Amino acid sequence: MKDIIFLTPVFKQMIWGGSRLGSQFGYDIPGDNTGECWAVSAHPNGDCQVSEGSCKGMTLSQLWQSHPELFGNPGADRFPLLVKIIDARDDLSIQVHPDDAYAKENENGSLGKTECWYILDCEEGATLVAGHNAATRQELEQMIHEGRWDELIRQVPVKKGDFIQIDPGTVHAIRGGMMILETQQSSDITYRVYDYDRLTDGKPRELHVKQSIDVITVPAPSAGESVKSAAELPVNTLNELIACDYYRVWKLTVAGAFSFEQAYPFLIVSVVEGQGRIGDREIKKGDHFILPDGFGEAELTGDMTLIMSSVNQAGTGKDGEER
Ligand code: ZN
């Protein structure tokens, strides 16, 4: 059996970050403004190291280059996904991401960013921002320039266990109080539309109004289509939450024992609740690892909730065809 690839997260201090990645997930966080845990990432802004086994100390990007067979010989130039846990003590900026074509042309060949969120925790009656209310690009521009944020942004009620897909061009913002697990394309390109006039070290963070107006989808698709409840899904079942061009994401709640064949080029696994074992290896909330290609049967025992992801072979398949 091939080794499981366990990774050490990279933490990011953020103006809006909190301390729950320490208190709830048991990580040794760098401070009380820790907003992001880059749990599975080969991105240059946070390249996770392998934490055990024969490849210990290598970064995920090095592993991707030197051992493509672990990832199903994908033929892509970089590890395509990034999994984060976000702890928002305060509201995040209202933002939007470009698609691949816009990012390639305007951001030095970067990937665009499609992302999705599984809500680990939030307050009762919480909302987040997904979409906007402008009917035309001209109206969008006008509302942004006049600062009519309450009219412009679309608030969507959410609860713990909800799942939301955020396509490029979608205006979005995570609100204070939320903890989410984000699965995304491996990209760090964010255009900030509005930052609540906050200051960092006495200065506002940079806004990207022009790029935002370029990439925001007008009119916005209805918000209801993008949010679904994933709180009460059947246990011991691979529940698919989304399949899009870039990834597939599943939720698995293990109750007692459950086994499945690792049938994907690679499978990212995040333990978001509880504890148990994979084979003989103990795993617990806050652990993240990758089951390599050809891993075989994944034998899980215990009581725990896992969020898992892989590339969508129909989208960016083994043939290396670009989409
Ligand atoms: Zn985003």
Distance CA 321, CA 251 (A): 28
Give the residue from 60, 44, 68 showing the smallest Cα distance to 6. Answer: 60
297 CA to centre of ligand 1 in angstroms: 34
97 CA to centre of ligand 1 in angstroms: 6
35 CA to centre of ligand 1 in angstroms: 13
Give pLDDT tens digits for 71-89: 999 888 999 999 999 999 9
pTM of this structure: 0.93
For the cut 80, the answer to whether the pLDDT of residue 318 exceeds it is no
Distance CA 71, CA 64 (A): 7
257 CA to centre of ligand 1 in angstroms: 35
Instruction: Assess whether 89 carries a catalytic annotation.
Output: no
Task: Give the pLDDT band of residue 290 (cuts 50, 70, 90).
Answer: very high
Q: What average pLDDT does the chain have?
A: 94
Contact 16, 176 (CB under 8 A): yes
* Structural domains of the chain, with CATH: 91-228 (2.60.120.10)
Which residue of the set 192, 205, 277, 281 is catalytic?
Answer: 192
For the cut 50, the answer to whether the pLDDT of residue 321 exceeds it is no
Distance CA 91, CA 176 (A): 4
